[in-house]
Amino acid sequence: MNEISKQQETVSNTKSRKIYLHLAAIFIAALVVCNLIANKFITLDLGFKTFILSAGVLTYPLTFLITDTLSEIYGKKQTSLIVWAGFSASLFILGVIFLAEQFDAIDGSPVDNETFNRVFSNSWRVIFASMVGYLFAQLIDVRIYHFWKQKTKGKHLWLRNNFSTIISQLVDTTLVVCVLFLGVRSNSEIVQFIIDGWIFKILCAALDTPILYATTAFIRKKIGLKFGEEIS
């Protein structure tokens, strides 16, 4: 009986590690893509309101869904590791872009110097702004999430998911917009960017709540974890 239990535990641990790595990979990929496309601003018409957003916002809410999933299953420490890994990935991107800028494009290159610089010349500022907002917001999100998880004794998943995101996304949006546009855009435009970005992210948080319930339920079933429990 003990041997069977050990085998089951080994299988469960293997599955949990694989899931953790896949979630980490998707998280970092979403963060990288967010940084690379953040220079493009778009309008998004949802009928009741037209939002003015950075294209990076389209993938950024996914990172908070993943950190909430990680927090629910793997706990605060393991989630914070992924947050810092994403920060390291952003630093790496800055280094690669800087290195690429040091070399001139050859004649006939599909992307010449002017095009490359037009797309990436502001990337250091965009990525720096994203890094500042990201790091503060994600760490705040993880801590608020676990605060409400302890207060509710593991119940009311929807509450900690939305409350943590509402506060952390306000911090993130304000920091990113201010770093990017203070002294560049008017105060009224800056406020509008913050409001639009924040409201859009809140809507995403509300919409991803059923996804969070489904995702965490699927993972718990896979690794044999009860609702509200974390992997020790």
The residue whose two tokens read 């990017």 is 180
In a domain? residue 166: yes
Range of the domain at 54: 2-223
pTM of the model: 0.78
- Rounded to an integer, what distance in angstroms lies between the CA atom of residue 87 and that of residue 130? 10
| CATH number reported for the structural domain that contains residue 159 in this entry | 1.10.1760
Domains in the chain: how many in total? 1
Q: How far is CA 53 from CA 23, 43, 83, 169, 186, in A?
A: 26, 6, 23, 14, 16
DSSP state of 47: S
Q: Regarding predicted confidence, which is higher, 26 or 231?
A: 26
Amino acid at 81: L
- Rounded to an integer, what distance in angstroms lies between the CA atom of residue 156 and that of residue 166? 16
pLDDT of residue 156: 80
How confident is the model over 156-175, as a mean pLDDT?
82
Q: How big, in percent rounded to 5, are the helix, strand and coil portions of the chain?
A: 80, 5, 15
In a domain? residue 232: no
Q: Regarding predicted confidence, which is higher, 48 or 3?
A: 48
| Per-residue pLDDT reduced to its tens digit, 185-225 | 888 888 988 888 888 888 887 888 899 889 999 998 888 88
In a domain? residue 112: yes
Q: List, as one string, the DSSP characters of 88-101.
A: HHHHHHHHHHHHHH
In a domain? residue 92: yes
Task: Answer yes or no: are the C-beta atoms of 135 and 176 closer than 8 Å.
Answer: no
Q: Burial, 90: exposed, middle or buried (Cβ in 10 Å; 0-12, 13-18, 19+)?
A: buried
Angle at 22 between CA 21 and CA 26, to 5 degrees: 115
pLDDT of residue 160: 82
Q: Regarding predicted confidence, which is higher, 216 or 12?
A: 216
Whether the predicted pLDDT of 106 surpasses 70: yes
In a domain? residue 143: yes
In a domain? residue 75: yes
Task: Answer yes or no: are the C-beta atoms of 140 and 168 closer than 8 Å.
Answer: yes
How confident is the model over 89-96, as a mean pLDDT?
85
Give the pLDDT band of residue 6 (cuts 50, 70, 90): low
Whether the predicted pLDDT of 70 surpasses 60: yes
